[in-house]
């Protein structure tokens, strides 16, 4: 008698990918430098009266140039653009008190491929040139929170209390040009990666002795540009303005207003807005839970290739308990997400096909195929499931499936693929 199968993954996917095909970016390096007004003056400014800025230069106080700047070098693995209201989160520790702080900047327009960004904590936001940056973490996020790229200094990896103790004892950093001690002099701790939160502004770490100062930085000019884009009906502008109202940044927090703006963007075909509305209605975030609306918005995004919307539809149709189960629909949407390389969908599809739940056709050969593919991503549950299914298949059939799984390549859906119809649409 075969052993019991592993339980299904019972959680919705993480917050949305705001773009169908987001750029692939790595943060190559982060440098910190205290700059004065004179560091930005150029000959051209004497004639025009206007500052000649690099491609991306934002300041916490636009009227002051003097302060500490984080200079972020980027490597673009895939060409693209960072959209309007992309978030740049800078968590940092100063040498004067060693408390963790956070600054959040928002891009004032879409930006195409560029090598460097500079963000300055200027004016009253930096106490003076003798204060250094001891530790930092820089995160680039899509407007609704999805992480694009991240880089942290070695000392940031330690828990707050431990880092403060190291700094107090002089072990954490040597203030010689603001450089940290070599990594060989310190014991590396296990990294801590808290789960993302769609609406969180504060750092999620718990340490009452190390309060976090959250400092959203959205200039009046940036807000005006976002509002102009939204008023013109631009979907990205509508999403960006919705984010500001959702989080209460630059505008009073107003969830109904944020929902309305996201709905306008969704009506214009913005899959980011559609997916996040699906999340909000499925979880009851900022509104009453509504499974029918969640299903509707997920379906709109999924039809145009949104991987996580496809995965969430598979989950809703199979295991959520919020709507009538439909195994054929679940298998259809899981397979579309699985074909694009989404590992949770590959595993859940294999599990569904193994059991034949909710009217889905049982197919051990296909189940083995998807379990093997999911296991390629070091998924222990998928490895265990593949091992169980392996004992149920003839040797020759198993060999053919294993070869096919080795040759699998994820395929990003194109407009042509979007015409594929779900079983409900075919009836």
For 51-64, the pLDDT digits (tens) are 666 678 888 888 88
pLDDT (0 to 100) of residue 51: 66
Distance CA 231, CA 182 (A): 51
What average pLDDT does range 240-256 have in this prediction?
86
170: left (phi over 0), alpha (psi -120 to 50) or beta: left
Give the containing element (helix H, strand E) for 236: helix 235-247
pLDDT (0 to 100) of residue 136: 92
pLDDT (0 to 100) of residue 54: 65
Q: How many CB atoms lie within 10 A of CB 55?
A: 12
- Name residue 215's beta-bridge partners: 103
Using CA atoms, how far residue 341 sits from 24, 333, 409, 412, in Å, is 16, 13, 8, 8
CATH class of 274-282+302-426: mainly alpha
What average pLDDT does range 87-91 have in this prediction?
89
**Range name among 84-93, 157-166, 189-198, 411-420 with the lowest pLDDT average:** 189-198
pTM over 0.85: no
What average pLDDT does range 80-103 have in this prediction?
83
What average pLDDT does range 298-308 have in this prediction?
91
| Residue ranges covered by each domain of the chain | 24-217, 274-282+302-426
pLDDT (0 to 100) of residue 165: 72
What average pLDDT does range 259-277 have in this prediction?
91
What average pLDDT does range 174-191 have in this prediction?
34
Q: Which two tokens stand for residue 82?
A: 């960072």
CB 137 within 8 A of CB 27: no
What are phi and psi for residue 209, nearest 5 degrees? -90, 0
Q: How many CB atoms lie within 10 A of CB 327?
A: 21
Q: How many CB atoms lie within 10 A of CB 324?
A: 7
Q: Name which of 137, 146, 180, 123 is nearest 22 in CA terms.
A: 146
Distance CA 122, CA 69 (A): 8
Handedness of CA 50, 52, 53, 55 (dihedral sign): positive
The answer, yes or no, to whether residue 19 has pLDDT greater than 90, is no
Mean pLDDT, rounded, of the chain: 76
The single residue listed with the structure tokens 């140039």 is 65
Residue, of 64 and 424, whose pLDDT is higher: 64
pLDDT band at 85 (very low <50, low <70, confident <90, very high): confident
Handedness of CA 329, 330, 336, 339 (dihedral sign): negative
Q: Which two tokens stand for residue 43?
A: 């000959």
Distance CA 21, CA 341 (A): 14
């Amino acid at each position: 008698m075969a052993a019991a199968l592993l339980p299904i993954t019972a959680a919705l996917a993480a917050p949305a990918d705001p773009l169908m095909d987001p750029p692939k970016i790595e943060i190559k390096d982060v440098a910190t430098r205290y700059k004065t007004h004179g560091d930005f003056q150029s000959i051209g400014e004497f004639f025009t009266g206007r500052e000649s800025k690099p491609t991306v230069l934002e300041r916490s106080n636009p009227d002051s140039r003097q302060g500490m700047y984080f200079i972020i070098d980027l490597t673009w693995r895939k060409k693209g653009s960072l959209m309007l209201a992309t978030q740049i989160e800078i968590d940092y520790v100063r040498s004067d008190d060693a408390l963790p702080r956070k600054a959040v900047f928002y891009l004032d327009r879409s930006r195409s491929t560029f090598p460097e960004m500079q963000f300055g904590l200027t004016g009253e936001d930096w106490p003076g040139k003798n204060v250094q940056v001891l530790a930092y973490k820089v995160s680039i996020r899509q407007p609704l929170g999805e992480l694009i790229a991240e880089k942290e200094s070695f000392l940031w990896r330690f828990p707050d209390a431990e880092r403060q103790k190291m700094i107090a004892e002089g072990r954490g950093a040597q203030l010689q040009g603001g450089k940290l001690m070599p990594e060989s002099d310190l014991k590396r701790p296990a990294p801590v990666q808290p789960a993302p939160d769609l609406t969180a502004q504060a750092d999620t770490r718990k340490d009452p002795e190390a309060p976090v100062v959250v400092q959203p930085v959205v200039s009046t000019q940036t807000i005006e540009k976002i509002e102009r884009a939204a008023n013109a009906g631009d979907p990205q502008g509508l999403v960006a303005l919705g984010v500001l109202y959702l989080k209460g940044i630059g505008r009073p927090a107003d969830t109904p207003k944020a929902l309305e703006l996201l709905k306008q963007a969704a009506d214009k075909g913005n899959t980011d807005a559609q997916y996040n509305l699906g999340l909000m209605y499925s979880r009851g975030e900022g509104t009453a839970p509504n499974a029918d609306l969640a299903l509707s918005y997920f379906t709109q995004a999924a039809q145009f290739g949104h991987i996580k919307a496809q995965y969430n539809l598979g989950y809703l149709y199979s295991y959520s308990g919020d709507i009538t189960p439909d195994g054929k629909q679940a298998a259809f949407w899981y397979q579309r997400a699985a074909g694009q390389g989404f590992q949770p969908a590959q595993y859940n599809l294999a599990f569904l096909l193994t059991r034949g739940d909710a009217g889905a056709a049982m197919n051990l050969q296909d189940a083995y195929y998807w379990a093997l593919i999911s296991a390629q991503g070091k998924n222990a549950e998928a490895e265990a499931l593949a091992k169980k299914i392996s004992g149920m298949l003839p040797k020759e059939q198993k060999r053919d499936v294993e070869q096919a799984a080795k040759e699998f390549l994820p395929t990003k859906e194109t407009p042509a693929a979007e015409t594929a119809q779900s079983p409900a649409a075919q009836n």
